[in-house]
Amino acid sequence: MIPFLDLKKVNKKYQSEIEQAVLRVVRSGWYILGEEVKQFENSFAEHCQVKCCIGVGNGLEAIKLILCAYKELGVMSEGDEVIVPANTYIATILAITESGLTPVLVEPDIRTYNLDPKKIEEKITSKTKAILPVHLYGLCCPMDEINKIAQKYNLKVIDDAAQAHGAVYNGFPIGGLCDATAFSFYPTKNLGALGDAGAITTNDKQLAEVIRALANYGTEAKYINKYKGINSRLDEMQAAILAVRLKYLKDDTIYRQELASKYLNEIVNNHIVLPFVRVIEEHTFHMFVIRCQKRNELQKYLLEQGIQTQVHYPIPPHKQEAYKEWSNLSFPITERIHDEVLSLPLNTALNFSEITEIIDCVNKF
Ligand SMILES: *Cc1c(COP(=O)(O)O)cnc(C)c1O
């Protein structure tokens, strides 16, 4: 059996370093907002080539905190609109509605599964305040085009990079490509903690200050509460673990890209559409997502051959019960993607011979 993802095996590579880091924190007597978080924030800011990084509780709150900070700064207010791809993971949409803003769903590009810049302008109204591209499956969105539209209409660009740590777009790392970037370090992500964790990167120091306060009860100085904030802090233990994982991110990303290149070169099957790649550096292959009209049959067949796959994601946000107010909306491209996508195993615990075995099976379907 080739499992979709064996996290124990993934983390084995870093286990002794992680255990040392955890022990160091246990023995330090300091568990929240200390040196470990500060050091990780500095290293991650350097990695992203940005001025500011704020560690937070998780990826959903990272997006939410950026939006709420813009509200505090007077850039956005209750009911304003945020343009977002209709096929994103539910967390992106939840962050917008939880902030009291209105998501405006836009169909993705069927080749890239990312926000289609050609469809953004027609959705802009006087209430639009931001575009929120999601680098889905690890592929960078066309940020030059998106930033250009944002500039024309004076909008903020906030990107959801929960699946794209380590991606490089036109020579620049993700995290500094627009106004603010949200990251998740959920354990299955390319840069994963051993629990919940997230971060925000930005070059806007004023925005960073507001976010930092909002994430800590709205506290500006100890016991001085400037905003109605929340509790969303990266803890010392997760920060220490992430500092270990960050050292290996570049090599891990290259390895994922090598495995993906093998799939891309060797999967030959008329029933299957392979992921779009412009230049390999732009794709971190958080998932290797193929498309097939007979997706359910293919998934069943692969499982019979001992290969576990997953569907990211089976139901689009506008078809979820949580957003039943959208149930009569129609997004044909999004719905087609959700009907046809299948994620093949791709992670740093796999070797080339396992990839060969998967390719052989896929080609025989
Ligand atoms: C994982 C993920 C999130 C949410 O991150 P959490 O840390 O689980 O809150 C948001 N957006 C995308 C695209 C994700 O993949």
CATH of the domain at 292: 3.90.1150.10
Q: Are residues 16 and 162 in the same domain?
A: yes
Q: How many A from CA of 182 to the centre of ligand 1?
A: 9
Q: How far is the CA of 199 from the centre of ligand 1 (A)?
A: 11
Q: What is the mean pLDDT of residues 12-37?
A: 98
8 A C-beta contact, residue 94 and residue 60: yes
The preferred substitution site among 58, 60, 84, 312 for testing ligand 1, maximizing ligand atoms within 8 Å of CB, is: 60
Shared domain for 284 and 218, answered yes or no, is no
- Mutation test of ligand 1: which of 5, 89, 233 has the most ligand atoms closer than 8 Å to its C-beta? 89
pLDDT given for residue 46 in this prediction = 98
Cβ neighbours for 114, distance < 8 A, ≥ 6 positions apart: 85, 108, 133, 134, 135, 136, 139, 141, 142
Q: What is the pLDDT of residue 61?
A: 98
CB 7, CB 345: distance < 8 Å: no
Q: Which of 173, 189, 351 is nearest to 286 (CA)?
A: 189
Is the domain of 239 the same as that of 259? no
Hey, CA dihedral for 262, 265, 266, 271, is it positive or negative? Answer: positive
196 DSSP β-pair partners:
none
Ligand 1 atom with minimal separation from the 88 CA: 13
The reported pTM is 0.98
Supply the residue whose CA is at minimum distance from atom 10 of ligand 1.
Answer: 91
- CB 239, CB 92: distance < 8 Å: no
Both 291 and 357 in one domain: the answer is yes
Q: How many structural domains does the chain have? A: 2
Q: How far apart are CA 328 and CA 318, in angstroms?
A: 8
Interval 338-355 mean pLDDT:
98
User: Which residues are identified as catalytic?
Assistant: 189
End residue of a domain, out of 243, 271, 298:
243
- Are residues 201 and 99 part of one domain? yes
Instruction: Please indicate, yes or no, whether residues 257 and 295 belong to a single structural domain of this protein.
Output: yes
Short-list 81, 115, 130, CA closest to 331: 115
Maximum alpha-carbon separation in the chain: 65
Model confidence at 94, pLDDT cuts 50, 70, 90, reads very high
Residues at CB less than 6 angstroms from ligand 1:
58-60, 88-89, 91-92, 134, 160, 162-163, 184, 186, 196, 198
Residues 200 and 253 reside in one and the same domain:
no
Q: Could you report the per-residue pLDDT of 131-185, keeping only the tens digit for each? A: 999 999 999 999 999 999 999 999 999 999 999 999 999 999 999 999 999 999 9
Per-residue pLDDT, 263? 98
Check whether residue 22 and residue 91 sit in a common domain. Answer: yes
What is the residue range of 297's domain? 249-364
